[in-house]
């Protein structure tokens, strides 16, 4: 599989420069970091959450976990993990477990952990388990837009 169509079109519309890094097939963000020789702190991992308001994508470094309690407190929302079925419906052009952390490309509200936002370079899944996209932190921030909320949401 190649870059997800939605991601490819979004990157093209935004006119950003990026690199593609191929790696052996992996089934988790930890494996992806290891297989691609990318530090976990630089690999953006999205976690799809939902509540009665709708979906929320939390983006954290792959070597950290979303602090759901803290995120709920900061956003004043009662969030839970989205189901695999919901994820499949929202990301039909992506393999399960290889979501790109580009909520705006899919019309999903996004929150980014300060730990990943402060990195000089960002790597993220392209929609499959064998390719990463590499962008500068500045480019990643521009891809997410000005309305993305940032905070300390991981541990």
Q: At 46, which helix (H) or strand (E)?
A: strand 43-50
Q: Which CATH number fits domain 5-151: 3.40.50.150, 3.40.605.10, 3.40.50.2300, 3.90.960.10?
A: 3.90.960.10
Tens-digit pLDDT string for the chain (155 aa): 579 999 999 999 999 999 999 998 888 888 888 888 999 999 999 999 999 999 999 999 999 999 999 999 999 999 999 999 999 999 999 998 899 999 999 999 999 999 998 899 999 999 999 999 999 999 999 999 988 899 999 99
Sign of CA dihedral 150, 89, 64, 8: negative
Distances, alpha carbon 37 to alpha carbons 23, 43, 59, 127, 134, in Å: 9, 10, 20, 19, 13
pTM > 0.85: yes or no: yes
DSSP 53: S
Q: How is residue 44 written in tokens?
A: 């953006």
Cα 152 to Cα 138: distance, rounded to the nearest angstrom: 19
* Distance, C-alpha 124 to centroid of its chain: 6
Cα 51 to Cα 82: distance, rounded to the nearest angstrom: 9
């Amino acid at each position: 599989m190649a870059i997800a169509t939605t991601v490819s079109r979004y990157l093209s519309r935004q006119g950003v420069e990026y690199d593609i890094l191929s790696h052996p097939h992996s089934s988790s963000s930890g494996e992806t970091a290891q297989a691609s020789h990318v530090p976990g702190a630089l690999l953006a991992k999205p976690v799809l959450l939902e509540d009665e308001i709708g979906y929320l994508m939390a983006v954290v470094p792959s070597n950290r976990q979303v602090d759901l309690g803290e995120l709920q407190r900061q956003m004043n929302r009662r969030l839970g993990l989205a189901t695999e079925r919901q994820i499949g419906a929202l990301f039909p052009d992506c393999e399960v477990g290889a979501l790109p952390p580009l909520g705006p490309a899919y019309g999903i509200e996004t929150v980014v952990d300060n730990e990943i936002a402060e990195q000089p370079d960002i790597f993220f899944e392209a929609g499959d388990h064998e390719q990463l996209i590499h962008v500068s932190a500045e480019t990643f921030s521009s891809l997410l837009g000005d309305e993305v909320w940032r905070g300390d949401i991981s541990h």
